[in-house]
Amino acid sequence: MRPCELTVADAAAAIASRALSPVELVESVLTRCEATEHRLHAYVTVVAPQARQDARQAEREIVEGRHRGPLHGIPYGLKDLIDVTGIPTTASSRAWAGRTPGRDSTVAARLAAAGAILIGKTHTHEFAYGLLTPQTANPWHEDVVAGGSSGGSAVAVAAGSAMFALGTDTGGSVRIPAALNGTVGLKPTYGLVSRHGVAPLSWSLDHVGPLTRTVRDAATVLGVLAGHDPSDPASTVPPAHWSAAVPADAHGLRGVRVGVPVNYCFDRVDPQVEAAVRGTVDLLAKLGATVLPVELPLVEYVEATQWGLMAPEASAVHEEALRAAPDLYGRDVRLLLEAGRHVSALDYLRAQRTRTLIRDAWTRLFEDVDVIVAPTSPITAARRGQETVRWPDGVTETVTDAYVRLSSPANITGLPALSLPVGRDSAGLPIGAQLIAAPFAESLLFRVGTAVEEHRPDAGGLAGVPRSDGIDNPQGMRHEAGPGGSSREQ
């Protein structure tokens, strides 16, 4: 196994025992990056000279006994919304071409203090306002989308050109690309991870979270990122009992109450996705969990509330720049920003009020269950250029609406949500399951997610690095129609 294929946990153990040096690890990741970037385009900017220099420094520190912890010497990627001193933050947009910040974001500063080594800045859908990341290819097949808006971060992790990466999640933009690329993606509790120095899309919905190869790795990264930051007005102080650690009894789930939605989450879902997620529920039951039906409240208001909050907030962020240079924005993003200007103050306030009702109702669910299990996305990766999905009941929705439908409730409510790979469809494309828990119950998500990961029959084969230095083409994949009867249209 090449060093770039290791998990963060395994690489950290090898570094701590001196079986692997940060220099060797960084060089392996950079080699993998060079071998795949011409096809994948996960990165906007690769800072190879600085990464090699930082690796040599990490090696010296470790040899001298100054080991900083589990991320010391571990190479990672940052979504190109997240500031690092002296490295351009472009948001994958011409509107920010040449923008170079003069100070680190809080999350970049915390990773640097932990000794993590930046490989580069990863592509995003422009200003994170979309779910495709069109510049970037999916490592499982070049003809399907990577998902977004943290598509570059998910692809870098899946392909081995980063050991972990950070993304942002406003309507599912960490979890959706995680599901589509076979990685783990975590959206923490709202306010747990600082957004200071991160380009905003929607102030009341934005989260920063890690993409990793395993649940334990996500817990390790969150342990470094989490904590109050007075520079972020939404930042919270975690409760005294909060922990990012995976509980020691993660292998057994006796006493854990698993809620399976009887409405909404399995409506208009590809049959192969549904089968994989329900199979995961069966596994949890075999591991001792109690499975209970749960009815999700106020779901008929989710889509309108998401757009009622996000559209005007995004337009407010870009108001001056859009007025000054509209042609520097991509057409899809420009149209969304212009539309958001027409949302009235009354409608925005109604969306805020509805969000409060939804959040309170969903939070009360966790009086009766501990974790909710559902699909992350109702479909796997769509074809490039595909615009709609037509379901067997005759309903047609856009690919974007399909992707965000099941992930946005956790943004509206601020609840922690974890996506992990639980299978593949007949074309070989990854399927993700989403776990949602009460505020600040990340350790419970890690407990359940780790149990799934370690007892799944195909564990270790889904979120790993594609074996060739090119891009895998599983089963000569075709996409004339979605599996199980859903039709995917241009």
pLDDT of residue 421 exceeding 80, the answer is yes
Q: Does the reported pTM lie above 0.85?
A: yes
Integer angstrom CA distances of residue 218 from 34, 443, 458: 25, 11, 20
Mean pLDDT, range 236-248, rounded to an integer: 91
pLDDT given for residue 142 in this prediction = 84
Which position among 21, 150, 161, 173 bears the catalytic label?
173
- In this prediction, residue 482 carries a pLDDT of 41
Peptide bond into 149 cis (omega under 30): yes
Q: What is the pLDDT of residues 16-55, one digit of tens each?
A: 999 999 999 999 999 999 999 999 999 999 999 999 999 9
- Confidence band, pLDDT 50/70/90 cuts, at residue 468: very low
Q: Do residues 448 and 435 make contact, with C-beta atoms less than 8 angstroms apart? A: yes
The reported pLDDT for the residue numbered 1 is: 86
Percent of the chain with pLDDT over 70: 92
60-76 pLDDT tens trace: 999 999 999 999 999 99
Instruction: Give the residue, 480 or 110, on which the prediction is more confident.
Output: 110
User: In the structure, what pLDDT confidence band is assigned to residue 456 with cuts at 50, 70 and 90?
Assistant: confident
Q: Tell me, what's the pLDDT at 485? A: 44
Does the pLDDT value for residue 171 go beyond 80? yes
Mean predicted lDDT score pLDDT of the chain: 93
Neighbours of 422 (CB within 10 A): 28
Q: How large is the C-alpha radius of gyration of the chain?
A: 21
Catalytic-labelled residue, pool 21, 28, 105, 149? 149
Residue 373, pLDDT above cutoff 50: yes
Q: Hey, how many other C-beta atoms are within 10 angstroms of the C-beta on 22? A: 26
pLDDT band at 247 (very low <50, low <70, confident <90, very high): confident
Nearby residues of 77 by Cβ (< 8 Å), 6 or more positions away? 42, 43, 118, 119, 120, 121, 122, 152, 153, 156, 157, 161, 162, 164, 165, 166
User: What integer pLDDT is reported at residue 208 of this predicted model?
Assistant: 98
Taking a C-beta distance cutoff of 8 angstroms, is the pair 246, 450 a contact?
yes
Question: What pLDDT, on a 0 to 100 scale, did the predictor assign at position 487?
Answer: 55
Alpha carbon distance 379, 375 (integer Å): 9
**Per-residue pLDDT tens digits for 113-164:** 999 999 999 999 999 999 999 999 999 998 999 999 999 999 999 999 999 9
Active-site residue, 315 included: no
Burial class (CB in 10 A: 0-12, 13-18, 19+), 466: middle
> What tokens does 417 get?
């949500």
First to last CA, the chain: 40
Residue-level pLDDT at 471? 42
More confident residue, 478 or 10: 10
282, burial (CB in 10 Å: exposed 0-12, middle 13-18, buried 19+)? exposed
Q: Do residues 392 and 483 lie in contact, with contact meaning Cβ atoms separated by under 8 Å?
A: no
- Owner of token pair 């993660």: 250
pLDDT at 478: 31
Confidence label for 250 from pLDDT (cuts 50, 70 and 90): low
Condensed to tens digits (0 to 9), the pLDDT of residues 201-229 reads 999 999 999 999 999 999 999 999 999 99
CA dist 197 and 203 (Å) reads 13
Which residues fall within 8 angstroms of residue 460, CB to CB, at 6 or more apart?
Answer: none
How far apart are alpha carbons 128 and 155 in whole angstroms?
16
Q: Is 187 an annotated catalytic residue?
A: no
Question: Per-residue pLDDT averaged across 320-328, rounded?
Answer: 96
The pLDDT value given to residue 115: 98
Sign of the dihedral through C-alpha 26, 27, 30, 35: negative
The answer to whether residue 408 is catalytic is no
Q: Tokens for 447, please give them.
A: 């407990």
Residue range 240-249: mean pLDDT, rounded: 87
pLDDT of residue 13: 97
If pLDDT is split at 50, 70 and 90, which confidence band does 459 have?
Answer: very low
Cα–Cα distance, 195 to 376 (Å, whole number): 23
Alpha-carbon gap, residue 379 to 47, rounded angstroms: 35
Residue type, 436: I
- Closest C-alpha among 229, 246, 247 to residue 238: 229
Q: What share of the chain is helix, strand, coil (3-state, %, to 5)?
A: 40, 15, 45
With contact defined as beta carbons under 8 Å apart, do 5 and 162 qualify? no
Annotated catalytic residue, options 79, 150, 202, 419: 79
